[in-house]
Structure 1
Amino acid sequence: MSALFTPWSLRSLTLDNRIVIAPMCQYSANEGTATDWHFIHLGNLSQSGAGLLILEATSVEPEGRISPEDLGLWSDENEAALADLIPRLRAWSPMPLGLQIAHAGRKASTYAPWKGGGQVSVDDGGWVPVAPSPLPFRNADVAPIALDAEGLARVKAGFVETAKRAMRVGFDMVEIHSAHGYLLHQFLSPLSNARTDEYGGSLENRMRFPLEVFEAVRAAVPEDKPIFVRVSATDWVEGGWEIEQCVAYTKELQKRGLDAIHVSSGGLSPAQQIPVTPGYQVSFAERIKAETGLPTLAVGLITDPTHAEEILTTGKADAIALARGILYDPRWPWHAAAKLGASVHAANQFLRCQPSGLRQLFK
């Protein structure tokens, strides 16, 4: 049997295969509330045959959005929209659904990529971001406000409340975003955390707030529901966050009940130098898996099904996460199953498209 199409169980959640659709921002919400675009976009991906679909970074408070159009789950209105959306997706697809909960920190209040991606000023509907320290992402950006004790408590409570709302609307798991230069990653990296209190300085101190957030979320989510954390294994900048520190962080998360680690990289600094090649982040997932034993998700330019299969069969990771690649080819799991001699779920409405030579492709 193909390793990529072997079922995967995490607590009460069982996936049909090891293909995970990673969170991808859509910049299409209205004051954090999901719109028709989300039904179109997610409805399409829910028919892909992947094992799990994780919704985009969903902010725990208005100031935590990357853009003013980001998805959020801090209000009853946000919750009602997702409570309507999830059953409509499930009516047509058995695919499990997860939610990534996030806070952008100093990278908040930016325009959507197709609008240039620069910082949105307060006069134009933006806001002054918050962060561990008053260090802007880009030199031209407005310096963020350093979170004080009250702010830290508010943000942590926001993560908890958003996780509770996610459970109420019926998500099967949650993923905490601790990567790509967003708030929790900002606490971890010495490039963005210049605090002199118990949340800055040593690795132990820089890990403290992200670990407090994880502990609070784990306590708020039912025991049978898995929690993933997405990490950046390195900043790709000298003197920044790197794989040794990430291994240490993962071990601390593991002690607190982490189910799987989703291993990415970069995003914290414009100075990053990333050697982008197929599978360029897989070695990070492999090392974390080897040193912790935790289930890992590998992501990053994994586009060939045979490459994905090799990553799993050699024990470098436990699952493959797809993002931009599955936007480009929403039937990637079908094509991978055909190439690897496996089968995949397809809706009844699509069964007639099965190629004549692949009668066992669809379940």
Structure 2
Amino acid sequence: MTSTGPMVARRHGGSMQISAAFGPDPRPGGNARGPGDSSVLARSWPSAPLEPADSRGPTVPRESLEPLGVASPTTGSSPLRWVEPFGPVGPLRPVQQVGPSAGLTIPVPTGFRPQGDQSERPTSAGVYDALLGGTAHRRVDRRFALAILLEWPDAPAAARVTSEFLVRAVRFAARNGVNQFLALGAGARTIDPVHEIACAVAPESQTVYVEPDPLVIARVLPDVPTDQATMVRADLARPDEVLRHPGVRARLDLTRPIVVVAVPGLPQVADDRDPREVLRGYREATPRGSLLIFSQLCDEGSARGLRGLFEQAGLPGTQRPHAQTVDLVSTWDPIEPGLVPAEEWHAPDERPRPHFGRIPVYASVGWR
């Protein structure tokens, strides 16, 4: 299997380099890990081409950023422009003053159509996958991921921190005998999907992905192994309807504990739909002994500007204050250590934490 590499932002010689990296996944099977390793292995990728800035593309101005992910090739101190590896993506419109540098213009897809051809509409799952370096995304998802990267250069690191937490939390549940998973949202299908993590620990595990977006379902459903998982289309914010869905009932035994995986699904539930009541509804609709795996990007620091970007693209991407996040997870009984930075949740003591204190992603596991 080949995999698209993570997006990269790096400061060099006073100018920022941005690239999309590509290369084969060096891990056997694409997801191999060492015995007992609860983290996602680091990967090295060759970088995509970078060209000197000219009139054909936007010039990325000077920024003061720490290196993220894979370093781009050293090309001197001239400003660089990002080279779109997939070619042009439909009609574009400029988004002015994106990120900390006034006047920066980033092309973002426009002209989304709710009916017919939806190829110009990014999806939450596709953008998340692109930030992680997966393969289950399209050009428009990758272009929008670039816009996020320029608004918040820590976005790929935040996606990786979230993914690593998910690996540890799913393994925690499977090792403790809860092997039925209800995943709210498709997530990043090619990078550590829930069913693969669970079955690596408990081969009898079963997973149901609940995804409201038909565009996502059409893209990832053919890759879901029918002996381990299935995918249903349903509204994440309606727990009773989700758990009454024939596809859910055919796959999961609702008399036994279930793991509700709200990573990254709950941020797609807008505040006007009462996400606290949504989580409480899943608690009430599942048997005792069920677990909730939860993460949330909070609107702290440089991540505050993302909400407007998602609104412009017509995507759900709700950031929440930390106090509201604490209230959300209180609907389930916390398991030690409670709500903490995602990097810290059951992380091995020897594991480096290069982003600690900089990535406002909080995570917890609760039970009922």
TM-score, L = length of structure 1: 0.30
Higher helix share: 1
Q: Which has the higher contact order (CA 8 A, sep 6+)?
A: 1
TM-score, L = length of structure 2: 0.30
